[in-house]
Copies of this chain bind each other. A is one copy, B any other.
């Protein structure tokens, strides 16, 4: 079994296959993509895919795991000393710039549509979603504890809206090839910081400062 003799080479091939699968699914859709096409896109002989992934669902599982690792790394890369609102903006900005890649945006939309009818796929992404929501809620809570974020917000629901916001932008990018994420960062930054900022005392509204 020569193919298992070199784990590094096996891992590199596996990544190539996954990248090819992402491209095929994003361009043609999950159902319309054959495993032969994935092999062609990856420049491998047909049938080779089975050495790496036994089924198409196994490919989606591997994609979900890659996404999960990337999100975990993104959260881990944050400086815990940084202002919590700055960290949320940082996360949103990095996700936004990542999604200017139409491949990523189209694949997200395709997999979301597929997940509606395939409970196994829905569950793979539901796990990722729970992890991101929890990590974001924890970040918001840290901000509240430090007085950097409004203590009057419902943090679970605020996290959900922040995620919906970025997911809405992913949808935009998927539908509109000319969508320029960079051009929208300024307004996104205002939206997030105004939403989360601690409420000032009512001084500005009538001099009741205390």
Contacts and interface: CB of A to CB of B under 8 A. Distances in A.
Contact of A187 (B27, B110, B157, B184): B157
List the 5 closest pairs (A to B, CB-CB), nearest first. Answer: A164-B168, A168-B168, A200-B204, A113-B113, A157-B187
A122 B191 contact: no
A117 interface: yes
Interface of A: 27-29, 31, 106, 109-110, 112-113, 115-117, 122, 125-126, 153-154, 157-158, 160-161, 163-169, 171-172, 174-175, 183-184, 186-188, 190-191, 194-195, 197, 200-201, 203-205, 209
B191 A195 contact: yes
Nearest to A174: B116
A134 B48 CA distance: 51
B106 A116 contact: yes
Contacts of A125: 175
B187 A161 contact: yes
B187 A153 contact: yes
B109 A187 contact: no
Nearest to A155: B187
A158 B195 CA distance: 14
A91 to B, nearest CB: 15
A24 to B, nearest CB: 12
